Amino acid sequence: MEKIIDEKKQGNTLVMEPQERNGRKLFIESYGCQMNFNDSEIVASILSKEGYNTTQNLEEADLVLVNTCSIREKAEQTVRKRLEKYNAVKRINPGMKVGVLGCMAERLKSKFLEEEKIVDLVVGPDAYKDLPNLINEVEEGQNAVNVILSKEETYGDISPVRLQSNGVSAFVSITRGCDNMCTFCVVPFTRGRERSRDPQSIIEEVNDLAEKGFKEITLLGQNVDSYLWYGGGLKKDFKNASEIQKATATNFASLLRMVAEAQPKMRIRFSTSNPQDMTLDVIDVMAEYQNICNYIHLPVQSGSNKMLEKMNRLHTREEYFELIDNIKKRIPDCGISHDLITGFPTETEEDHQDTISLMEYVKYDFGFMFAYSERPGTMAARKFEDDVPEEVKKRRLTEIVNLQQEHSKYNTERFLGKTVEVLIEKESKKSDAHWAGRNSQNTMVVFPKENYQIGDFVNVRIEDCTSATLIGEAVGYSENN
């Protein structure tokens, strides 16, 4: 399951610096996971070469694109409301073209184009290089669609435009698609089978970001731990590779080491991990390199073996505990977060209590918690009745959220009196006299600005905390400056 970003906070217009040679205006919004935001940067790069500058002003746009998410019903509802807004503007500006990108595009292409007639253009996640041709078709008066899923496309040859960037942190895509057929998840059907990107192109992108002054990158994929480069092609076809290809293949631990060594002063993060694919060599590489952050997002989805099997998660509760134990043994101060779904079909009170006890065992730093909502096209929608009453789902979700609040406070209190390294990312939301940035464990830290600047690595002594934020005083620059 993809890590979800709150649409209200992160569903934003993305803006790039204008280029004088470009005359047409592109308005692009992204919803859903970090992968969608990274894809929008790829789209902006492709269209900048076609004469488009991005704009924050919807009314002046020649082309309006929304990059969509299908993983939760709420995300789809949000996108539909935005399409209504676009079309209201389009009635005033009939020359404006509207397109849908991403996961909803693949799933609802006929509905959008033929039944509801609310868009001109529908483009799936593997077809962004075809955008110039599709736009030409639209300008000639035709509806245009390309939702073909690719076995090869990784966009490794596209240098993304860093949209609305703070100039400090950036995402670097390393895989596309997913082979894990979790029964609740639509991603394999909307993003296709898993394939990995050439490690050399990844290193080149990381080096380019370093030259541009970025201080932190997140290696991004639906399932980063199953990264495997053997010359190109689908992960599932690795079994047919030559002996030389197999002997020289690059796995995720090797890639992580390459990136860490390429830029020793750049912070490295990665997301998302899958318990069934995370190996001890990845944890060992994390422990070995100071610039790889001590933080793992490790979705579990449920603490019940019965539910895990029904979800087609290829790990058990006991195997998950073993992985957690190994992480904490090798990286004692590692921050760990989760995804959890409550109310999956047939979930009993006993299953729910298994999830509660798993949370008590791990004591996660934070998490992303959802009540199950049936997604069309998934195995769960086809095979299982959504039989847990809504009021039961809400009550269980409340119990999970409340427990996570307790654990989050427990974890932030561990930092009281300690000094942590913080990369300054932005001004604090609550005070223009304070900076905000994250420590290695991905916890937000705020402290008085003094003479420090965005992009500085600063040592901060922690004096107070909430369940989500550390509060302290800067004691000087860290050795990474």
**The 3-state secondary structure of the chain, one letter per residue:** CCCECCHHHHCCECCCCCCCCCCEEEEEEECCEHHHHHHHHHHHHHHHCCCEEECCCHHHCCEEEEEECCCCHHHHHHHHHHHHHHHHHHHHCCCCEEEEEEHHHHHCHHHHHHHCCCCCEEECCCCHHHHHHHHHHHHCCCCEEECCCCCCCCCCCCCCCCCCCCCCEEEEECEECCCCCCCCCCHHHHHCCCEECCHHHHHHHHHHHHHCCCCEEEEECCCHHHCEECCCCEHHHHHHCCHHHHHCCEEHHHHHHHHHHHCCCCEEEEECCCCCCCCHHHHHHHHHCCCECCEEECCCECCCHHHHHHCCCCCCHHHHHHHHHHHHHHCCCCEEEEEEEECCCCCCHHHHHHHHHHHHHHCCCEEEEEECCCCCCCHHHHHCCCCCCHHHHHHHHHHHHHHHHHHHHHHHHCCCCCEEEEEEEEECCCCCCEEEEECCCCCEEEEECCCCCCCCEEEEEEEEECCCEEEEEEEEECCCC
| 178 annotated as ligand-binding | yes
Is the Cβ–Cβ distance between 423 and 477 less than 8 Å? no
Sequence-distant (≥ 6) Cβ neighbours of residue 317 within 8 angstroms: 303, 304, 305, 308, 354, 358
Closest among 461, 426, 420 to 441, alpha carbons compared: 420
- The answer to whether 465 is annotated as binding is no
The verdict on whether residue 293 carries a ligand-binding annotation is: no
Joined together, the tokens standing for residue 410 give: 């427990």
- Distance (Å, rounded) from C-alpha 73 to C-alpha 372? 10
Q: Per the annotation, where are the binding residues?
A: 33, 69, 103, 178, 182, 185
Q: Per the annotation, where are the binding residues for [4Fe-4S] cluster?
A: 33, 69, 103, 178, 182, 185
